[in-house]
Structures are given as structure tokens and as C-alpha cells.
Amino acid sequence: MPFIPSDGVDFLLKVNTATAESPNWVTIGGQRGATLSMTAAMIDASNKMSGAWTTSVPGLLSWSIDADAVLLTDSAGLSVEEGRQKLLAAFHSRSLVHVRYVRKDGSKFQGYAAITDLSEESPHDDVATYKIKLDGSGAPEEVNGTKQVETATVAGTVTTAGNATFTLTAAGMTGSPKAISVAVALGDSAAVVAQKARETLAQDSAVTALFDVGGVGPAVILTKKIAAANDNSLNLAIANGTCAGIVAAATSADTTPGAAPA
């Protein structure tokens, strides 16, 4: 499938001119460009084992947006841009402004930011422009969704060696519902079976494409890698395949419902 380049006009910068509870998102009029940057401060972790090279690890995260726009005025030469007026007011009052970056696919990146630069440029080719620099305050709201967590609990002791069957149903997973065989031995406890199941699931590429596999004791826990709306179909069923002694469980527990980013 060929890749299709994105058109810059489809990336919009908006500012909330009302409240967080009842927002009114206004597009920055005359916008010509917007750049979203996310960075991680690097922490110096150099030590005697580093040799001649600096060793660093990622530290605190930050985000910012740089944009430029054409000044919009009426016939009398007065600014008529609501979004810019909101930015000016926030800048002079030294308050945070609620901004939203909208991508071509409709996904949104938003949060509160401080206006650290709002500069107007003298007309170039008879077009006056201004530049905006927004430095994010705290985590952007896009990353505040909830990752769904599903828990299956193994019970019983293996009385006949063979394969237990763990059947995973998940929206968007290749092969769903997918029956995964887990080799178990005579006398394996619920905790041992669960550990073997975790190891087997963690080796399945279809599973690990969507989930992190974890849990302790008899619990097999699947955590979505990405925060998204709750998948009501998500389920990890347990059954005796060619083994015996495990307590069959047709349904697992939706431990933490998923929620899409705000």
C-alpha cells in the first residue's frame, strides 16, 4: 500500500475560549503552521564503569507547540481573531491557556500551556504575521486515558498431564478468538500453571502486539499497551485441553476498564 503524504492544512491549532467543563474550541485564524514537540530531559548517569563515554537516562518529559499565523483584520484594520485575543489576554495575565492540536486523522493532543512567546512581525510582502510559543504545563490530556486490564485466575491442581487451553478473545487481535495451548505436568498447582501460561502468552506475537503479560501466583494479567475505549469482548477463558484437574473458567475479570484519552 503506498504512503500518502499529509497536507499541512489538516493540522490545526485551537484554543479554548470558554471553560474546561464547557469548552469552546476556536481555531487560530490565519494559521500557517504548527509544530508539536515532545522531549525528555536527559539525566547524567555517568560512572566509573562508563569509560570515556557519557551515560544518560531519560528524565522528565515536556511538550511544546510552535506556530505561526497571518494576522486577520477587518476593513478598519482592527484584529477580529477571537483565538488570538484569548492568547493575548492569557499572556498579559500570565495565566495558562487550554490548547488543542488536531491531527489529520482527527486525533487530538491537548493540555494547558504557558505562552512564552507571542511576537508580531512587520509586514513581509504586505502580510503581517505573528508567532506563538506554547510550553506545556504538566502531562498532556491525550496520554491520560486508562489502559484496560483483564485478569484470569487459575484454580485446581493438574491430575493428568497434558495441555491446558487458554482462549483469548480481543478486538483487533490477529486470530481472535485464539486458543493457546500451555503444557502442564502432573501435580502442577494453580500458581505453577499460571506461570506457565504467562510464559507461553508472552511468546505469542499476536498477544504481545496488544498486551503486556503479567501477574503473580494464580493470576494471569493482560494489560493493554495503549489506552483506548473499553473492549467489552476482551476475555481469557481457561479450560482443560488434554490435561485434567484445572477448574474451567469461561470468563475472566475486567479488572480495570479501558478509557480512551480525553
Q: Which CATH class for the 8-143 domain?
A: few secondary structures
Per-residue CA distances from 183 to 32, 117, 149 (Å): 60, 62, 25
Extract the C-alpha cell encoding 171.
478486538
Give the residue carrying C-alpha cell 507547540: 65
CB 221 within 8 A of CB 125: no
Q: Is 119 exposed, middle or buried (0-12, 13-18, 19+ CB in 10 A)?
A: exposed
Give the global pTM. Answer: 0.54
Q: What is the pLDDT along the chain (262 residues), one digit of tens a residue?
A: 455 555 555 688 999 999 887 889 998 888 888 889 999 999 988 888 888 888 888 889 999 999 888 888 776 666 678 888 898 899 999 999 999 998 877 778 889 999 999 888 876 666 778 889 999 998 887 666 788 999 999 999 999 999 999 999 999 999 999 999 999 999 999 999 999 999 999 999 999 999 999 999 999 999 998 888 999 999 999 999 999 999 999 999 999 999 887 6
Pick 149-256's CATH classification: 2.60.40, 3.20.20, 3.30.70, 1.10.150.
2.60.40
Ranges of CATH 4.10.410 domains, the chain:
8-143
Ranges of CATH 2.60.40 domains, the chain:
149-256
